Amino acid sequence: MNKRLPTGLYALTPDSADDDWLAEAVAAAIRGGATAVQYRSKSVDAARRLRQASRLGEACRAGGALFIVNDSLELARAVGADGLHIGRDDGDPATVRAALGPQAILGVSCYDAFERALAMRGIADYCAFGSVFASAVKPAAVRAPLELFTRARGAGMHAVAIGGIDAGNAGQVAAAGAAAVAVITAVFGQAGNAAHTDASAIEANARRIVEAFGSGLQAAGAMSSTSTAR
């Protein structure tokens, strides 16, 4: 069964209690080229999470982007999300897959562990490695080398890169073999700012990352063609 999965820019939402801004920000990221959005919220209450996730799901459907929920199977089900992303502490992936069903997308954080990614084959639709670069969101996160994406691509895995990615380095990650880059700050701006990044800036941020990722893919393709010709 072929599923549509996150490719290119995979936008991850910042924490915000401003429902209107968050919906506008996600719509702007999609206009800028994000193919998928993951709703991540660690600070608001359950009622607001449900309200925000419902609105963001609508924005993704309107813009043609995938909508994925972080951590919560219950929330993903409640809002009819396209899928769920889980980490090491969010339950056994096989059990989560059984509860989620075969049609939905399941992503699993694999940090810097290629063996964990291998174990997820047949369970998860994509694995996420990171932090690839220094991350303002998780400064203490383990670092994942770019070679993981080359190994994952060689093993036929759909690998997503996360951590410190921006327009200046997205091309490197694409060239290494990542299918998508998961980005928060370089799209939506620094968390905690009193004045949220405006929609036009978010759209431009997203577009720059998409272009950089595409350039990385083209460069990798050209190098591959040259090597084959030799």
The residues carrying an active-site annotation are 40, 109, 138
Residue 111's alpha-carbon distances to 31, 75, 127, 169, in angstroms, are 29, 24, 9, 19
Q: What are the DSSP calls for 172-196, one per residue?
A: HHHHHT-SEEEESHHHH--TT-SSP
In whole angstroms, what is the distance from residue 209 CA to residue 168 CA? 8
In whole angstroms, what is the distance from residue 38 CA to residue 52 CA? 12
Cβ atoms within 10 Å, residue 221? 11
Strands (E), the chain: 8-12, 36-39, 66-70, 83-86, 105-111, 126-129, 159-162, 180-183
Tokens of 78: 């409640």
CB-CB contact of 84 with 106 (8 Å): yes
